[in-house]
């Protein structure tokens, strides 16, 4: 076994410009066909036409059968990782600074087999988890040693995208055959492509670390401001990564509503820009390189109602230097996902605030209604998860900012 070190990177092959143009056109056509997808699907689909070579996941030696154009049959799991690496990027992002290669954002998208619901699980970057022995991307015959207690955001540094996938698979019990690694500038280009993402600010955000200062009210964020909003930690909630995740969910749910809106879907220029937005800012696992696979996944998502798309935090409890898994709550969450049951959350968003301008009425419940213990469990009935924090995509939430005086 090899002591973990920073993974080395090989040279990329030169791209064929004509192949690149063909891929962009294929992506554009696919986006038009899909007519609306979730933000996680965008991350795994619109960015999929990257000219970078794919990443082969462990045990992914045999290509899956390519489906015909149409909705994906059955369920699917896709891991979307946000890297803090600036290598090869514009100098405004600290370009070519290769000192960082951590997966500061790790999200698992699960689509149910009947395409009735979808869940995006965010894993806090400071979660201490077991990391399995991961192959060295440069020398698979000498894998990195396993670790029993290490932060999940180091997995990308140790063994690349396959190591992050293996770690999340071991943590959740879910098989993850598809993955994508996204860099900072991809967020900037996507938010600009849709003409800005409206976000609600409940309390003023002041963050000297990201340079983000926003007054209460609604703001259309795009470009650099959108990226800094997603990165801010000191300026929201209690300053922890957990409240930053909730802040990100405010943005992601709004981005999804924006993409699914008629204003976007009826605008060919926006659709084209979305397909092209992060062409050079993503690395994909091999099977996500296939346009047919991506179209099929996106079409499986297009008709899922917003209230059946959940953004949740992986359940954790605080420990010195970070957090660790709350296995009881996590087991309940992933048992529901494995059974493709829709989930209902207990109302704790994890840090954001429900918009006071939007009233969400709960379905009436008769407490006196008799319950038959012998009645079969309805697989379509939501599983209530009181210990899991998050929100549904149809909930209008506001960022709970904090000022410098509170930091």
Query: Whole-angstrom Cα distance, residue 336 to residue 54?
Result: 31
Tell me the mean pLDDT in the region 333-357.
91
Q: Which of 159-173, 337-351, 372-386 has the lowest mean pLDDT?
A: 372-386
Structure tokens, 184:
């900072």
Residues with Cβ within 8 Å of 107's Cβ and at least 6 positions away in sequence, in order, are 40, 43, 79, 80, 81, 82, 120, 121, 122, 123
Q: Report the pLDDT value the prediction gives residue 256, as an integer from 0 to 100.
A: 81
Residues with Cβ within 8 Å of 174's Cβ and at least 6 positions away in sequence, in order, are 77, 108, 110, 168, 334, 337, 338
Residue matched to tokens 């399995």: 132
Print the SS3 string covering 3-21. CCCCCCCCCCCCCCHHHHH
Crossing angle (nearest 10°) for helices 184-193 and 223-231: 130
Residues with Cβ within 8 Å of 242's Cβ and at least 6 positions away in sequence, in order, are 124, 313, 316, 323, 350, 351, 389
- Up-side HSE of residue 397: CA atoms within 13 Å toward CB? 26
Higher pLDDT among residues 299 and 358, named by residue: 299
In sequence order, what DSSP letters do the residues of 58-120 get, joined into one string? TT--SPPPPPPSSPPSS-EEEEEEEE---TTS-GGGTTT-TT---EEEEEEEEE-TTSS-EEE
- Up-side HSE of residue 107: CA atoms within 13 Å toward CB? 25
Task: Output the average pLDDT for the chain.
Answer: 78
User: For the segment 240-283, what is each residue's pLDDT rounded down to a tens digit?
Assistant: 999 999 999 999 888 888 877 767 666 667 766 766 664 556 77
Structure tokens, 211:
């340079």
Instruction: Please report, for the chain, the start and end positions of each structural domain, with discontinuous segments joined by +.
Output: 17-360+381-406
User: For the segment 42-101, what is each residue's pLDDT rounded down to a tens digit?
Assistant: 444 444 444 456 677 776 666 555 444 567 888 999 998 988 765 554 545 444 444 568
Query: Whole-angstrom Cα distance, residue 298 to residue 317?
Result: 34
Model pTM above 0.85: no
| Beta carbons of 174 and 166 less than 8 angstroms apart | no
For the domain spanning 17-360+381-406, the CATH number is 3.40.630.190
Going by pLDDT thresholds of 50, 70 and 90, the confidence category of residue 232 is: very high
∠ CA 246-44-261, nearest 5°, is: 70
Backbone angles phi, psi at 72, to 5 degrees: -60, 135
Residue matched to tokens 């994508």: 180
Helix (H, G, I), strand (E, B) or coil at 390: strand
Helix (H, G, I), strand (E, B) or coil at 217: strand
Q: Classify strands 322-325 and 316-319 as parallel, antiparallel or unpaired.
A: antiparallel
Q: Report the pLDDT value the prediction gives residue 49, as an integer from 0 to 100.
A: 43
Determine the straight-line distance between the first and last CA of the chain, rounded to whole angstroms. 43
Query: Whole-angstrom Cα distance, residue 334 to residue 29?
Result: 35
DSSP state of 370: -
């Amino acid at each position: 076994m090899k002591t973990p070190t920073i993974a080395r990177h090989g040279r990329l092959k030169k791209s064929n410009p004509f192949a690149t143009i063909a891929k962009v056109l294929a992506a554009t056509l696919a986006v038009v066909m899909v007519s609306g997808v979730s933000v996680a699907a965008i991350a795994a689909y619109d960015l999929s036409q990257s000219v970078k070579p794919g990443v082969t996941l462990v045990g992914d030696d045999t290509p899956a059968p390519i489906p015909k154009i149409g909705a994906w049959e059955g369920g699917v799991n896709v891991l979307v990782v946000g890297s803090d690496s600036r290598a090869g990027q514009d100098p405004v992002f600290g370009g070519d600074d290769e000192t960082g290669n951590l997966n500061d954002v790790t999200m698992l998208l699960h689509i149910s087999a009947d395409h009735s619901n979808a869940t995006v699980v965010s894993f806090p970057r400071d979660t201490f988890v077991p990391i399995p022995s991961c192959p060295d991307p440069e020398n698979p015959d000498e894998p990195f040693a396993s670790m029993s207690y290490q932060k999940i955001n180091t997995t990308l540094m140790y063994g690349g995208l396959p190591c992050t996938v293996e770690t999340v698979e071991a943590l959740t019990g879910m098989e993850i055959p598809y993955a994508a690694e996204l860099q900072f500038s991809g967020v900037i280009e996507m938010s600009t492509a849709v003409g800005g993402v409206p976000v609600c600010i409940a309390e003023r955000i002041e963050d000297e670390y990201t340079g983000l200062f926003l007054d209460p009210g609604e703001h259309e964020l795009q470009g650099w401001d959108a990226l800094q909003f997603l990165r801010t930690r000191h300026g929201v909630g209690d300053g922890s990564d957990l409240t930053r995740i909730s802040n990100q969910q405010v943005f992601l749910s709004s981005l999804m509503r924006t993409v699914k809106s008629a204003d976007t879907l009826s605008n060919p220029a926006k659709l084209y820009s979305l397909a092209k937005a992060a062409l050079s800012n993503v690395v994909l696992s091999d099977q996500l390189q296939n346009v047919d696979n991506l179209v099929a996944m996106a079409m499986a998502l297009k008709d899922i109602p917003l209230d059946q798309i959940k953004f949740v935090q992986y359940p954790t409890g605080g420990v010195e230097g970070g957090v660790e898994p709350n296995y009881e709550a996590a087991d309940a969450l992933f048992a529901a996902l494995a059974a493709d049951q829709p989930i209902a959350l207990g109302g704790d968003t994890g840090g954001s605030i429900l918009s006071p301008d939007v009233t969400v009425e709960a379905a009436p419940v008769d407490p006196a209604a008799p319950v038959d213990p012998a009645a079969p469990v309805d697989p379509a009935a939501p599983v209530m998860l009181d210990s899991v924090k998050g929100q549904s995509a149809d909930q209008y939430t506001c960022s709970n900012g904090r000022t410098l005086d509170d930091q």
